[in-house]
């Protein structure tokens, strides 16, 4: 009954919010989801969407000086040693089938004689170079001045779920417990204000109200702040998808 009451109250708040607030309409060059992505296991796609909003990256191992890619792209990810348990679970449950690696690679690599006795600070894994990652690269990056810059796909709502939100929060979210704030902020500094607003639209479609918080006015960077009133709904939606190590990011 408590969870049902939270959900009903969230719908009431959302209705009131939408009646009195608008998020500026965003004009993006509309892309279509590559068919190969629609053929992926749905949970893999939703997980990778959360990863790409967070610490995930996709690159071409064989990229010519002319910026022309040769072959397929591959997925890569690095996180601090503190996130080892999460990284291992992510690799085992999602990326193992796309990789030929034997597991996570530590940095420094203590299996090498020159690094014996050193403390591991990071863990890394990579996939094989595959057509699905080439397709993902095509929607998550644009070429700008000879460099690939990460963007938010215009149709991200089609790939977004509670699983996506959980991974996004685990990788690039933090719980602000200062004073009466008691809510989650999502570090979206690498995205444009228009892309942040698009992500707000996606959250709003799930009943989650948010605002934009200026991170650096001189650089025009923002973070997404989830409304404190939406936190019970967020916990209800993603609690079962969170790795135990990151439950503190929900304020529990």
Task: Write down the pLDDT at residue 30.
Answer: 52
Task: Write down the pLDDT at residue 67.
Answer: 66
* Arithmetic mean of pLDDT, 88-104: 95
Task: Write down the pLDDT at residue 22.
Answer: 42
Residue 234 included in any domain? yes
Main-chain dihedrals φ then ψ at residue 53, nearest 5 degrees: -75, -20
Residue with the bigger pLDDT between 83 and 118: it is 83
62 DSSP 8-state letter:
S
Residue 79 clears pLDDT 90, i.e. is over it = yes
* Arithmetic mean of pLDDT, 32-39: 92
**Measured CA distances, 225 to 191, 238, 241, 247 (Å):** 15, 17, 20, 18
Residue 147 included in any domain? yes
Residue 79 included in any domain? no
* Arithmetic mean of pLDDT, 147-175: 97
Residue 227 sits in a domain whose CATH number is: 3.10.28.10
pTM of the predicted structure, to 2 decimals: 0.85
Confidence of residue 114 (pLDDT cuts 50, 70, 90): confident
Residue 89 clears pLDDT 90, i.e. is over it = yes
Residue 241 included in any domain? yes
Task: Write down the pLDDT at residue 187.
Answer: 97
Q: pLDDT tens for residues 191-229? A: 999 999 999 999 999 999 999 999 888 888 999 999 999
Residue 123 included in any domain? no
Which domain covers residue 202, as residue numbers? 2-73+129-250
Domain count, the chain: 1
Residue with the bigger pLDDT between 172 and 220: it is 172
Residue 60 clears pLDDT 50, i.e. is over it = yes
Residue 174 included in any domain? yes
CA nearest neighbour of 171 among 242, 221, 219: 242
Task: Write down the pLDDT at residue 190.
Answer: 94
Mean pLDDT in the chain?
88
Residue 45 included in any domain? yes
Q: Assign 3-state DSSP to the chain and report helix, strand, coil percentages, each to 5.
A: 45, 20, 35
Residue 203 included in any domain? yes
Cβ distance 86 to 243 under 8 Å? yes
Q: pLDDT tens for residues 38-53? A: 999 999 999 999 999 9
């Amino acid at each position: 009954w408590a969870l049902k009451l939270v959900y009903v109250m969230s719908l009431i708040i959302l209705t009131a919010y939408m009646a009195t607030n608008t998020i500026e309409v965003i004009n993006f060059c509309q892309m279509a989801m590559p068919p190969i992505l629609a053929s992926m296991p749905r949970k893999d796609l939703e997980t990778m969407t959360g990863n790409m909003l967070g610490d995930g990256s996709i690159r071409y191992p064989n990229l010519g000086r002319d910026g022309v890619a040769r072959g397929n792209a591959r997925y890569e990810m690095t996180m601090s040693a503190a996130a080892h348990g999460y990284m291992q679970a992510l690799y085992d449950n999602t990326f193992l089938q796309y990789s030929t690696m034997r597991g996570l690679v530590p940095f420094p690599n203590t299996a090498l004689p020159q690094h014996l006795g050193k403390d591991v600070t990071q863990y890394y894994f990579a996939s094989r170079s595959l057509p699905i990652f080439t397709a993902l690269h095509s929607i998550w990056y644009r070429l700008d001045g000879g460099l690939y810059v990460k963007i938010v796909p215009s149709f991200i709502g089609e790939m977004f779920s509670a699983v996506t939100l959980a991974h996004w929060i685990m990788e690039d979210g933090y719980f602000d417990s200062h004073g009466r704030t008691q809510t989650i902020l999502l570090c979206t500094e690498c995205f444009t204000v228009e892309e942040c607003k698009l992500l707000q639209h996606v959250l709003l479609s799930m009943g989650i109200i948010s605002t934009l918080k200026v991170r650096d006015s001189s650089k025009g960077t923002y973070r997404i702040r989830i409304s404190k009133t939406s936190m019970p709904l967020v916990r209800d939606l993603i609690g079962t998808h969170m790795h135990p190590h990151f439950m503190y990011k929900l304020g529990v």
